[in-house]
């Protein structure tokens, strides 16, 4: 298992080019299953999760390949509608193939994702919506078996999600795109990645109105065709690198991204004392003094994203005062707290609330990455701490940050990958 050795005390400064968003690329790859003619997707990041989904789709007999940042897909040769446990267990977003398979081929068998480090993360809302569209769903031996009604087509319906779910909204709009009749979906997620998916579906011939609002209306069409599309910039990767500037009195220019995608995060950066300047496709964060404390509540978009909670917490560890965090999306997303405390932070957790008492500096220590975003908070903290920190279990970071070491090095971080098998 690889580890990062970080020699700290860096000032994080320089330019970084932002990749396509993992959380948009995954549903867009799943949507390729819906097209009867070839689809080309650009700006696809090279990440473990992307490789997993490509292997999953390829395992269905579909011709799919990635060259550089472009994925091409031709579904003509599909010969099964099966997503095995071995792949699904490594990535929960695999469940996103269920909607497209069911809608286009009338059947699917997809391993039920298990829980994960940040919470139990059920998929009941996805399944409830498919049932409302007439599907018969059963869970047998750990697999979801789904069958469309007689005639092989899902049927449009009115459905409102019990809670806001990004993956649920994505799975169901893909299914509704090929359903018979009109689907009106209420309480939809508004995340930019959901909007990106809806826009790609429209480019494939889907009829969707209300994109970017909580009610989407999808008029099912007979078939979808391929298209050429480019994945939206990764707002979480953007925010993660900009966070480094706030922790080190640094200066980071993130290119190939958009300030419109991360307004709630940039507002908090400004509250913490950063000077933020933006252009059409870039954001710059400059920081001089110690960060000011903040209060953060994670919420569905356009609220503050849970995927930036750990990184903001790492900044607030160095703030001149006490910050409060309330995590509203996942029940167990404070796994980084004991690790940040090992690096010298002072954080106390009570249920969904974490109280952070700012300290002057982090101190180097060996720590363990616990989930994708938590890993980034540890990397940034280690980069500021004087001395050497070894970060274990960095496979988490490889799931979601493309070329992370070279991007960090370009920003002045002294980071080395150690293969512990050597
Ligand atoms: N939920 C249910 N039932 C469902 C679906 C969701 O109870 O059927 C609950 C979840 O357990 C969670 C909440 O609703 O407590 C929100 O879950 P959601 O479905 O919105 O999350 P997701 O689609 O599984 C995506 C991102 C996550 C991100 C969340 C929230 C992808 C591949 N993943 O997950 O990204 O945190 O939305 O914004 O898009 C990450 O990138 O590090 C990451 C975890």
Which structural domain, as residue segments, surrounds residue 101? 22-230
Q: Would the CB of 373 count as within 6 Å of ligand 1?
A: yes
Q: Which two tokens stand for residue 203?
A: 């480019």
pTM of the model: 0.97
Shared domain for 158 and 275, answered yes or no, is: no
The CB of 112 under 6 Å from ligand 1? The reply is: no
Whether residue 2 contacts residue 240, with contact meaning beta carbons closer than 8 Å, is answered with: no
217, 268: one domain? no
Q: Residue 289 Cα, ligand 1 centroid: separation in angstroms?
A: 35
SS3 111: strand
Query: Would you say residue 422 has pLDDT above 60?
Result: no
The pLDDT, as a whole number, for residue 1 is 84
Confidence grade of residue 190 (pLDDT, cut at 50, 70, 90): very high
Mean of the pLDDT values across residues 41-54?
96
Average pLDDT over residues 158-172: 98
Nearest CA to ligand 1 atom 25: 166
One domain for residues 51 and 162: yes
Pick from 23, 175, 298, 373 the residue to mutate for probing ligand 1's pocket: most ligand atoms within 8 Å of its CB.
23
The confidence score (pLDDT) of residue 125 equals 97
Q: Which of 199, 230, 261 is the last residue of a domain?
A: 230
Give the percent of the chain with pLDDT over 90: 92
Residues 298, 150, single domain; the answer is no
Q: Is the pLDDT of residue 34 over 60?
A: yes
Which of 171, 196, 230 represents a domain boundary (last residue)?
A: 230
Q: From the CB of 27, is ligand 1 less than 6 Å away?
A: no
| Domain co-membership, 72 together with 112 | yes
Number of domains comprising the chain: 2
pLDDT of residue 317: 98
Atom of ligand 1 nearest to the CA of 331: 15
Q: How many angstroms separate the Cα of 273 from the Cα of each of 187, 289, 301, 385?
A: 35, 8, 23, 21
CA of 359 to the centre of ligand 1 (A): 32
Residues 198 and 270 in one domain: no
Confidence of residue 245 (pLDDT cuts 50, 70, 90): very high
Q: How far away, in angstroms, is 166 Cα from ligand 1 center?
A: 6
What distance in angstroms lies between residue 339's CA and the mean position of ligand 1's atoms?
23
| Whole-number Å distance between alpha carbons of 313 and 326 | 11
Cα–Cα distance measured from residue 401 to residue 45, given in angstroms and rounded to the nearest whole number? 8
Residues 139, 286: one domain? Answer: no
- Comparing CA positions, the residue from 188, 183, 170 lying closest to residue 220 is 183
- 122 Cβ below 6 A of ligand 1: yes
**CA 121 to ligand 1 centroid distance, Å:** 7
Q: Give the residue numbers marked as catalytic.
A: 116
How confident is the model over 248-257, as a mean pLDDT? 98
Residues 310 and 323 reside in one and the same domain: yes
Mark whether 241 and 219 lie in a shared domain: no
Range name among 84-88, 171-175, 237-241 with the lowest pLDDT average: 84-88
167: Cβ below 6 Å to ligand 1? yes
The tokens describing 181, both together, are 């009749």
Q: Does residue 333 have its Cβ closer than 6 Å to ligand 1?
A: no
Average pLDDT, the chain: 96
Select from 230, 260, 284 the last residue of a domain: 230
Rounded to the nearest 5°, which phi and psi values hold at 373? -75, -35
pLDDT confidence tier of residue 419, bands split at 50, 70 and 90: confident
CATH number, domain with residue 73: 3.65.10.10
Mean pLDDT of 198-216: 98
Residue nearest to atom 26 of ligand 1 (CA): 23
Residue-wise pLDDT tens digits, 97-124? 999 999 999 999 999 986 667 777 889 9
Given this model, what pLDDT does residue 351 score? 95
Instruction: Identify whether residues 200 and 239 lie together within a single domain.
Output: no
Examine the pLDDT at 39 and tell me if it is beyond 60.
Answer: yes
- The reported pLDDT for the residue numbered 391 is 96
Q: Are residues 113 and 157 in the same domain?
A: yes
pLDDT (0 to 100) of residue 10: 84
Same domain, 197 and 238: no
72 to 53, 62, 201, 263: CA distances (angstroms):
13, 11, 16, 32
pLDDT of residue 121: 83
CB distance 400 to ligand 1 below 6 Å: yes
For ligand 1, atom 37, name the residue with the nearest CA: 166
């Amino acid at each position: 298992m690889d580890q990062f050795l970080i020699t700290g005390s860096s000032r994080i400064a320089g330019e970084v080019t932002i990749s396509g968003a993992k959380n948009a690329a995954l549903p867009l790859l799943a949507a390729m299953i819906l097209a009867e003619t070839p689809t080309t997707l650009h700006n696809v990041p090279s990440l473990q999760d992307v490789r997993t989904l490509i292997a999953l789709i390829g395992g269905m007999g579909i011709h799919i390949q990635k060259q550089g940042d472009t994925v091409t897909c031709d579904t003509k040769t599909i010969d099964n509608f099966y997503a095995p446990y071995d792949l699904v267990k490594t990535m929960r977003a695999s469940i996103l193939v269920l909607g497209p398979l069911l809608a286009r081929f009338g059947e699917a068998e997809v391993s039920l994702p298990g829980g994960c480090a940040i919470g139990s993360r059920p998929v009941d809302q996805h399944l409830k919506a498919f049932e409302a569209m007439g599907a018969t769903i059963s869970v047998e031996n750990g697999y979801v078996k789904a069958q469309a009604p007689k005639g092989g087509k899902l049927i449009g319906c009115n459905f409102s999600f019990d809670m806001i779910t990004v993956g649920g909204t994505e799975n169901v709009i893909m299914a509704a795109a090929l359903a018979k009749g009109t689907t009106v979906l209420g309480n939809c997620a508004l995340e930019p990645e959901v909007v990106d998916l809806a826009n790609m579906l429209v480019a494939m011939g889907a009829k969707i109105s209300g994109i970017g609002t909580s009610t989407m209306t999808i008029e099912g069409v007979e078939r979808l065709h391929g298209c050429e599309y480019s994945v939206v910039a990764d707002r979480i990767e953007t925010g993660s690198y900009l966070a480094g500037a706030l922790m080190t009195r640094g200066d980071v220019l993130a290119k190939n991204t958009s300030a419109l995608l991360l307004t709630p995060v940039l507002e908090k950066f400004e509250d913490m004392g950063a000077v933020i300047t933006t252009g059409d496709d870039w954001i710059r964060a400059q920081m001089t003094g110690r960060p000011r404390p903040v209060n953060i509540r994670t919420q569905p978009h356009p609220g503050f994203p849970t995927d930036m909670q750990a990184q903001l917490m790492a900044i607030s560890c160095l703030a001149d005062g006490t910050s409060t965090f309330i995590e509203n999306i996942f029940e167990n997303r404070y796994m980084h707290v004991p690790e940040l405390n090992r690096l010298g932070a002072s954080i106390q957790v009570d249920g969904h609330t974490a109280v952070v008492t700012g300290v002057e500096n982090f101190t180097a220590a060996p720590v363990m990455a616990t989930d994708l975003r938590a890993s980034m908070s540890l990397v940034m903290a280690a980069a500021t701490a004087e001395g050497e920190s070894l970060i274990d279990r960095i496979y988490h970071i490889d799931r979601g940050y493309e070329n992370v070491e070279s991007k960090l090095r370009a920003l002045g971080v002294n980071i080395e990958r150690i293969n512990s098998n050597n």
